[in-house]
């Protein structure tokens, strides 16, 4: 069958301008399982101070990037929101995330608070894609909590506060856990995947986990390992992302969300 689309999240430094892309380039997108079009390349904000996150997002948007990747745990979303506020909401695609929860009794309420915090910090009434950032430590030992957390995302989605919902760093067992109780199928599984990742991948024991259930789009973070283009030994050589990926192929030189 047709291989799934691999989507790349890219990190750039505000000190080194990223490669420009055509303004508002919505031509290079993938259609998610609910019909929402998601740009193939996103601009990541992980490990950035608030000031650097703001300047980087502002620079990226000015150069034509139209997909920004954020997260509650990055602790810089207010600054990301300041940069986003300078642009029309329809001109960009925003992905953000909530952390995992381990208590089944409080996972729904705690996640609902985190979802509200994402919107408040970003200054938005909705996001384009909301993800669970990672499964809890112990994975499916906390399956009930994972299911309750997913129920909170479904409620958020039905309230039209997210155009699509998904997960991040989930392996097959995690996906199967939430699938047993889900009413909405995850649209995306954002995972660590890069050239040379090998079989001992951190989120799954087999590389084939990337291709688990073709109804999910697999989005790769860190496609060149360390956040910038790397040599065979992993040394940094560039922070200029390529602007697109191809179906089932790893072909980016930026990277980390």
What tens digit of pLDDT does each residue of 27-48 get? 689 899 999 999 988 999 999 9
| Residue 195: per-residue pLDDT | 65
- Positions annotated as catalytic residues are 74
Question: Which ranges constitute the DSSP H helices of the chain?
Answer: 50-62, 77-84, 107-122, 143-158, 172-179
Of the candidates 27, 33, 74, 32, the residue with the CA atom closest to the CA atom of residue 54? 74
Is residue 119 included in any domain, yes or no?
A: yes
| Residue 66 contacts residue 100 (beta carbons within 8 Å) | no
Query: pLDDT tens digits, residue range 70-101?
Result: 999 999 999 999 999 999 999 999 999 999 99
Beta-ladder partners of 254 = 228
Task: Work out the number of other CB atoms within 10 angstroms of the CB of residue 242.
Answer: 18
Q: In terms of Cα–Cα distance, which of 13, 92, 102, 22 is closest to 53?
A: 13
Do the domain assignments include residue 1?
no
Assess if residue 166 is contained within a domain: yes
Q: What pLDDT, on the 0 to 100 scale, is given for residue 193?
A: 67
Would you say residue 213 lies in a domain? yes
Domain total of the chain: 1
Nearest to 140 by CA among 181, 197, 89: 181
Would you say residue 70 lies in a domain?
A: yes
The reply to whether 228 falls in a domain is yes
Count of CA atoms in the C-beta half-sphere (13 A) of 256: 13
Rounded to the nearest angstrom, the gap between the alpha carbon of residue 7 and the centroid of all alpha carbons in its chain is 9
3-state secondary structure of 39: strand
For residue 202, the model assigns a pLDDT of 44
User: Is 164 within a domain?
Assistant: yes
Report helix, strand or coil for 130.
Answer: strand
What pLDDT, on the 0 to 100 scale, is given for residue 175? 93
Residue 157, domain CATH: 3.20.20.100
pLDDT value of residue 28: 86
Cα dist from 188 to 3, 49, 70, 133, 231, whole Å = 15, 27, 15, 11, 29
Which range marks the domain in which residue 196 is found?
A: 6-255
Predicted pLDDT of residue 197 = 55
Helix (H) or strand (E) holding 165: strand 162-168
Is 146 among the domain residues? yes
pLDDT in tens, the chain (257 residues): 443 344 445 444 444 444 555 555 556 898 999 999 999 889 999 999 999 999 999 999 999 899 999 999 999 999 999 999 999 999 999 999 999 999 999 999 999 999 999 999 999 999 999 999 999 988 779 999 999 999 999 999 999 999 999 999 998 899 999 999 999 999 999 987 666 655 444 444 444 444 443 344 455 445 444 443 322 223 222 333 333 333 332 223 223 33
């Amino acid at each position: 069958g047709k291989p799934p689309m691999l989507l790349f999240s890219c990190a750039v430094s505000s000190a080194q301008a990223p490669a420009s892309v055509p303004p508002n380039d919505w031509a290079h997108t993938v259609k998610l399982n609910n019909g929402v079009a998601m740009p193939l390349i996103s601009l990541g904000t992980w490990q950035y101070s608030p000031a650097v996150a703001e300047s980087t997002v502002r620079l990226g948007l000015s150069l034509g990037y139209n997909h920004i990747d954020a997260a509650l745990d990055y602790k810089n979303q207010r600054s990301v929101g300041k940069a986003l506020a300078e642009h029309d909401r329809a001109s960009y695609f925003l992905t953000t995330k909530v952390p995992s929860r381990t208590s089944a009794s409080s996972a729904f309420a705690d996640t609902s608070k985190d979802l509200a915090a994402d919107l408040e910090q970003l200054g938005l009434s909705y996001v384009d894609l909301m993800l669970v950032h990672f499964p809890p430590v112990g994975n499916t030992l906390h399956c009930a909590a994972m299911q309750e957390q997913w129920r909170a995302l479904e409620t958020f989605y039905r309230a039209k506060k997210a155009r699509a919902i998904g997960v991040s760093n989930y392996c097959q067992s995690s996906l199967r856990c939430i699938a047993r109780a889900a009413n909405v199928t995850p649209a995306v599984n954002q995972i660590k995947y890069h050239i040379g990742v090998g079989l001992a991948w951190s989120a799954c024991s087999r590389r084939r986990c990337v291709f688990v259930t073709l109804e999910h789009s697999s989005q790769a973070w860190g496609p060149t390992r360390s956040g910038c283009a790397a040599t065979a030994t992993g040394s940094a050589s560039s922070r200029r992302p390529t602007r697109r990926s191809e179906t089932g192929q790893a072909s980016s030189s930026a990277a980390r969300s």
